Amino acid sequence: MDAMTPEAARNAAAKTRPSREEAEAAVRTLISWAGDDPAREGLLDTPKRVVKAYEEWFAGYSQDPLKALGKTFEDVQGYEDMVMLTNIDVESHCEHHLAPIMGVAHIAYVPSGAVVGISKIARVVEIFSKRMQTQETMTAQIADALNEAMQPRGVAVFIDAKHQCMTTRGVHHPNVSTITSSFTGEFKDDRDLRERFMQMVQRG
């Protein structure tokens, strides 16, 4: 049997999604398991708040990054060099502990005749980050989406982030950053272009 694609798995999960009431009941169970009383005054509305927060933190499951990239612009007066965005905020949650991942993404592409609105690139980062993630997967997903939607001559993605699963639990190393990158097309083949991208990352 063929393995289910990530998109198919998300669609299947959506069909069996618990109700809001069931989600709130699950939060109450976790509060009890942690050792507190979910009926205590200060915790009475916590399940509602947690479920509402989950809707925001994981809104990316209901959004399509390819649609976000949608419209491209052909009239660029022959521009053929790198287009780069630096310091795009990354706010995600690791899929192993649901602990926050906080950092920045630097993204560039070399157009093949069309460009996309720069806000759309930041939107793609937001869509993929608002899912339960590993940083490695998120980095590849962003690069793949840009390649599929725009067919550029190359894409570069560089993410620098700190994982709360390392800072607040486990090994407790608050100053460790995780760095991931993905280079496609000309960024992969052209060392000078890749180095220019990295120099601009350092400036950013």
Separation CA 197–CA 195 (nearest Å) = 5
Mean pLDDT, rounded, for 73-77? 71
Closest CA to 156 of 127, 198, 112: 198
Separation CA 78–CA 174 (nearest Å) = 46
Residue 70: the pLDDT is: 85
Closest CA to 194 of 142, 141, 152, 158: 158
Residue 174: the pLDDT is: 81
pLDDT band at 182 (very low <50, low <70, confident <90, very high): very high
The answer, yes or no, to whether residue 1 has pLDDT greater than 60, is no
The CA–CA distances, whole Å, from 127 to 69, 102, 160 equal 11, 15, 17
**Domains of the chain, first to last:** 6-57 (1.10.286.10), 65-203 (3.30.1130.10)
| Model confidence pLDDT, tens digit, residues 122-147 | 999 999 999 999 999 999 999 999 99
Is residue 76 helix, strand or coil? coil
Residue 114: the pLDDT is: 79
CA atoms within 13 Å, Cβ hemisphere of 50: 18
Residue 95: the pLDDT is: 97
Mean pLDDT rounded to a whole number for the chain? 92
Residue 115: the pLDDT is: 85
Residue 9: the pLDDT is: 63
| Model confidence pLDDT, tens digit, residues 13-26 | 667 889 999 999 99
Mean pLDDT, rounded, for 154-178? 91
Active site amino acids: 94-97, 135, 163, 165
